[in-house]
């Protein structure tokens, strides 16, 4: 069984890609909505929450875990691997490397939650893969909340207010460094305009999951939330088109 977790619905964008690549895998997804949003908490807080989420998924029988959240990956991925050395962990990281290879203007914009940029992981990625490239780290506070509330129906002008300045600064490649942002990619693309590429790492993460995890099983998907199961079931239906039976999980 493969476990995935996020603070809310964002990681469903990763689950969608994993399911497409591994149709026979048994999956369990945890939305830690009692503690949403992760992206505006401290790194220490997020690390503790990620450990609790991982423990819950391991107790449910997960043999590999996908940290389907950029903030939690930046804050906790190394600690989780140290804590559970026998468990494959796959995390998210801002796709700086492919963006640096793709840009023509040599300016890349990274859209993420504020906490993602506080971790050393981001500076390390830029240092290793973006030499000679201007990387514009642009926090988008509140976007994850809006996706939680409205799904893909976020007001395009709210998106444009963050995207336009990055494009006007010369970025021709935008990295979606929060899994929630996948669900507003059309609005981001529209605000960016022609000639600006979006890079969403969800498909690449799914390929890594396929490399390290057992994809065999009966193709079941279990959905858990530390929030309101009825509300989360509606969100899954709206974003994935799945009528899901959602279980409540007690928040720590």
Separation in Å, CA 130 to CA 169, 197, 231: 17, 17, 41
pLDDT score recorded for residue 252: 62
How many Cα atoms sit within 13 Å of 208 on the Cβ side? 17
Domain 96-200 has CATH 3.30.365.10: no
3-state helix, strand, coil in the chain (%, to 5): 50, 15, 35
Q: What are the residue numbers of the active site?
A: 69, 178
pLDDT score recorded for residue 239: 95
State the pTM of this model: 0.94
Report pLDDT digits (tens) over 186-224. 999 999 999 999 999 999 999 999 999 999 999 999 999
Domain residue ranges of the chain, discontinuous segments joined by +:
2-92+203-248, 96-200
Nearest to residue 142, comparing CAs of 170, 121, 112, 119?
112
Give pLDDT < 70 ranges for the chain: 252
Separation in Å, CA 238 to CA 177, 228, 233: 22, 16, 9
CB 184 within 8 A of CB 152: yes
pLDDT score recorded for residue 150: 86
Nearest to residue 95, comparing CAs of 39, 174, 186?
174
Calpha distance 227→233 (Å, rounded):
11
Report pLDDT digits (tens) over 33-65. 999 999 889 999 999 999 999 999 999 999 999
2-92+203-248 and 96-200 in the same fold: yes
- Choose the CATH number for 2-92+203-248 among 3.30.70.600, 3.30.230.70, 3.40.50.1860, 3.40.50.300: 3.40.50.1860
Calpha distance 222→199 (Å, rounded):
28
Tokens encoding 82:
């140290």
């Amino acid at each position: 069984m493969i476990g995935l977790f996020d603070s809310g619905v964002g990681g469903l964008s990763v689950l969608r890609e994993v399911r497409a690549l591994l149709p026979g895998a048994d999956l369990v997804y945890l939305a830690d909505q009692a503690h949403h949003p992760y992206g505006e908490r401290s790194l220490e807080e997020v690390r503790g929450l990620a450990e609790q989420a991982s423990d819950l998924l391991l107790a449910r029988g997960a043999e590999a875990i996908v940290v389907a959240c950029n903030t939690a990956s930046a804050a906790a991925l190394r600690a989780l691997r140290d804590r559970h050395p026998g468990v494959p962990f796959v995390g998210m990281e801002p796709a700086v490397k492919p963006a640096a290879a793709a840009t023509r203007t040599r300016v890349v914009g990274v859209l993420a939650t504020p906490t993602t940029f506080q971790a050393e992981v981001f500076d390390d990625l830029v240092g290793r893969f973006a030499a000679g490239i201007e990387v514009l780290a642009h926090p988008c506070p509140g976007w994850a909340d809006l996706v939680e509330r409205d799904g893909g129906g976020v007001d395009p002008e709210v998106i444009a207010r963050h995207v336009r300045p990055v494009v006007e600064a010369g970025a021709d490649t935008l990295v979606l460094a929060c899994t929630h942002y996948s669900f507003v990619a059309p609005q981001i693309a529209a605000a960016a305009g022609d000639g600006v590429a979006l890079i969403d790492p969800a498909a690449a993460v799914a390929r890594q999951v396929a490399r390290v995890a057992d994809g065999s099983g009966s193709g079941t998907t279990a959905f858990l939330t530390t929030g309101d199961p009825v509300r989360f079931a509606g969100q899954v239906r709206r974003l994935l088109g799945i009528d899901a039976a959602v279980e409540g999980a007690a928040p720590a």
